[in-house]
Amino acid sequence: MNHDVKLKVMNIEKSFPGVKALDHIEFSVRKGTVHVLCGENGAGKSTLMKIINGIYQPDSGQILIDGVDVKIKNPIQARQLGISMIFQELNYIPEMTLEESLFVGNWPLDKFKKVDWAEIRKRTLALLKSENLNYKPDTKLKDLTVSDIQMLEILKAISYQSDIIIMDEPTSAITQKEVEILFKKIFELKARGAAIIYISHKMDEIFRIADEITVFRDGKVIDSKPKESLDIETVISLMVGRKLGNDFPKVTVPIGDPILSVHGLCGEKFKNVSFEVKKGEIIGFAGLMGAGRTEVMRAIFGLDPIYSGDIRMLGKNVKIRNVKDSINQKVVMLTEDRRRYGILPVRSVRENISITNLKKFIKNGKLHAKEEIEAVQYYCDKMKVKTPSYETKISSLSGGNQQKVLLAKWLITDPEVFIVDEPTRGIDVGAKYEIYKLISDLVTDGKCVIMVSSELPELIGMCDRIVVMAKGEIMGILEHDDFTQENIMRLATGTTQNK
């Protein structure tokens, strides 16, 4: 069969404020093959795919299809060029019917430029029949399961008769049986001559379907080879071969008794999670996207329901139904999503800090302004917040300073257990170091820290133990001597299970 290069990207660069997301990317896919992309969270795979799909524009570089230079300005144009993409996170409209969703943005029109519903029905039925699927065209998407919808997305990509199909972790939401159906489809597509780009973290899958494998790291292509000349161990070590650096202000504090322990915790997106945190300890949580780390923390913090299992503080069973309970138990959480769950953008630094513990400043039923401002000042100094004044709106501060304000807001509640979720995400390098320093100060003060992070060097540099999660379960807990990026990645990709 003809295995000419179908899609080639040359010298692609893309920067976001503060980060170089893609650095001189060279990459190509041949007809009738599956090219797998792998790499850690934030390595740049999804950014590249979004550029190919016209969602982002590259800062520089070229995209060639069949050797012809093309500019892809938006997804509609991408589709016209024969590119379709199956997203990792499903964005669907629950009230839409199956047939509507198949043709959204691509409606067949009749001669009066009216949407031709009869044609849509006809084509949908034909497609469902040819794929041997038992759905009704007028079923609403909200009545389907997530994996049904994922299958539909795949079907949709196929229905466009695209020659370039991008699949961004398509198996993260579907069952094993459907994975087999998907793989069968992929082989059919290959036989038809389609070029497939497949993003995945799952090593067994990757080695089943890949023809070629490209590893991304820190916005660069690290290596690109035919599958035959790679093995799982090599791929893992390529993914993580990141410079560790010794510049973490890690302090060694005597480890005390367990403060928080969690036994057999189950929730919507995780099951059977057990671990404990000791006084003076920083315990890390590693895992790939969707491993359920944040979800576990949200449940412990009272933001999401707990189905079963228990949480103990100092050996005593505690019930956490909401955030207030958690704060009362002296467990607090710095969110990974500052905009959504962190800041009150239109309010001042002062109000953002004192909001968690206003009770402290109440005297005779009235907020005591002087005490409040003194406390705010104290914690701002402690967290080294740089702000023109305490009355400045928090939204006008830099990301790093906002993060420090949020740390201050939790510190004011005098916590014992401090959960920090991606504490340095979206923060410049200088501020990162300060955040690490503050986390070290916390344990020096006798608190314990749970640090969820996707940055392995940060976990290895700061933690005393690291819990690795995959698919909502703990895959292993690494002691300090076993800290290597390979060990973590092996557990996170579910390659081996050691406990």
Partner 1 sequence: MKAYLEKLKKSNLMGTFSIYFVLLALFLVSMLANENFATVGNLSNISRQIAVGTILAFGQTILIINGMLDLSSGSVLALAGVLSVDAYVKTGSLIIAFAVGIIVAVACNFLNGLMVTKFKTPPFIATLAMMAMARGAALLYTNGQNIYQIGDYVVFGQGSTLGVPNPVWFLIGIMVVTWYLLKHTIFGRSLYAIGGNEEASNASGINVDRIKMKAFIINGIFVGIAGVIFMSRVNGGLPNGAIGFEFKALTAAVIGGTSFSGGVGTASGTLAGAFIVGFLDNIMVLVGVNSYLQQIIRGAIIALAVIYDVYFKTTRKKLKPSKG
What residues make contact with partner 1 under the rule CB under 8 A? Answer: 16-17, 19, 21, 41-42, 46-47, 56, 301, 303, 322-324, 326-327, 333, 335, 339-347, 351, 354-356, 358-359, 362, 365-367, 393, 395-396, 409
Identity of the residue, 204 or 374, whose beta carbon is nearer to partner 1 in the bound complex: 374
Q: Which H or E element spans position 224?
A: strand 220-226
In the complex, the smallest distance separating the C-beta of residue 356 from partner 1, rounded to whole angstroms, is: 5
- Measured over the CA atoms of residue 299, residue 302, residue 303 and residue 309, the dihedral's sign is positive
Identity of the residue, 110 or 337, whose beta carbon is nearer to partner 1 in the bound complex: 337
In the complex, the smallest distance separating the C-beta of residue 327 from partner 1, rounded to whole angstroms, is: 5
In the complex, the smallest distance separating the C-beta of residue 398 from partner 1, rounded to whole angstroms, is: 11
DSSP class of residue 139 equals -
In the complex, the smallest distance separating the C-beta of residue 45 from partner 1, rounded to whole angstroms, is: 8
Identity of the residue, 13 or 131, whose beta carbon is nearer to partner 1 in the bound complex: 13
In the complex, the smallest distance separating the C-beta of residue 166 from partner 1, rounded to whole angstroms, is: 14
Helix, strand, or coil (residue 479): strand
Identity of the residue, 90 or 323, whose beta carbon is nearer to partner 1 in the bound complex: 323
Q: Which H or E element spans position 164?
A: strand 164-168
Identity of the residue, 44 or 476, whose beta carbon is nearer to partner 1 in the bound complex: 44
The letter for the amino acid at 147 is S
How far, in Å, CA of 490 to CA of 222, rounded?
A: 18
Identity of the residue, 191 or 362, whose beta carbon is nearer to partner 1 in the bound complex: 362
Identity of the residue, 145 or 395, whose beta carbon is nearer to partner 1 in the bound complex: 395
How far, in Å, CA of 250 to CA of 443, rounded?
A: 10
In the complex, the smallest distance separating the C-beta of residue 440 from partner 1, rounded to whole angstroms, is: 25
**CA distances, 244 to each of 304, 313, 459, 494 (Å):** 34, 34, 10, 23
How far, in Å, CA of 446 to CA of 256, rounded?
A: 9
Identity of the residue, 177 or 359, whose beta carbon is nearer to partner 1 in the bound complex: 359
In the complex, the smallest distance separating the C-beta of residue 217 from partner 1, rounded to whole angstroms, is: 14
**CA distances, 3 to each of 167, 194, 465, 482 (Å):** 20, 10, 48, 44
In the complex, the smallest distance separating the C-beta of residue 186 from partner 1, rounded to whole angstroms, is: 23
Identity of the residue, 159 or 454, whose beta carbon is nearer to partner 1 in the bound complex: 454
The β-bridge partners of 140 are: 97
- Measured over the CA atoms of residue 315, residue 317, residue 322 and residue 328, the dihedral's sign is negative
In the complex, the smallest distance separating the C-beta of residue 322 from partner 1, rounded to whole angstroms, is: 8
18: left (phi over 0), alpha (psi -120 to 50) or beta: left
Residues in the chain: 499
Identity of the residue, 67 or 365, whose beta carbon is nearer to partner 1 in the bound complex: 365
In the complex, the smallest distance separating the C-beta of residue 374 from partner 1, rounded to whole angstroms, is: 17
Q: Which H or E element spans position 278?
A: strand 270-278
Concatenated DSSP letters of 34-45 = EEEEE-STTSSH
**CA distances, 128 to each of 14, 109, 174, 196 (Å):** 39, 21, 18, 22
